[in-house]
Structure 1
Amino acid sequence: MNWILLIIAGLFEVGFATCLGKAKETTGNSSLFWYGGFLVCLSVSMILLVKATKELPIGTAYAVWTGIGAVGSVLVGVIVFKEPATFWRVFFICTLILSIIGLKMVTK
């Protein structure tokens, strides 16, 4: 169950990064909406991370949480914000995904 909480926390990390990106592109009330989304996603992500670390090693949990956030943020950047998907970006994101899977496999 803690791994599921950790994955969901990582997805909310992607959410808060996305909200920051969208807030940067907008103005007025629309910008406030995205900053509100940022605060909600940040809060949920942190609460779930804290809950997950009650049973998981903090180093592993933090590495997986940031890894999910990094991979998800790059994917959102490529899909939503039209950032380039170069060979090396994709290569290193794949190595990051393999590292996250490896951490899951070696953690009791």
Structure 2
Amino acid sequence: GSAPLPPDLLAWYRSLGLELLEGYGMTENFNYSHMTKPGRGRVGYVGEPSEGVEQRIAADGEIQVKSPGMMMGYFKNEEATKETMTEDGWLRTGDKGELDDA
């Protein structure tokens, strides 16, 4: 697992003239689903969906993704698969997020 980059650390790198680009993802969706493009980084932003990745926010605020690179399920663990996948085939990440127009 990981956590968002702390704002003070991002500010420190920027003070050195370095641009950090964050990404977001998990093993179940082929390691990444979102990446920040150069010039678009900001605090709390993990980037745009990678090519072929669909995203949505569930009613409870959970980030859900769907892509061709996503897992089909957990090997020999149907119960865990049912807990992680929605009935319509989206991956429940367990993370909270929101979409913006920026």
Q: TM-score, normalised by structure 2?
A: 0.27
Structure in which a larger fraction of residues adopt strand:
2
Pick 1 or 2: higher relative contact order, CA cutoff 8 A, min separation 6: 1
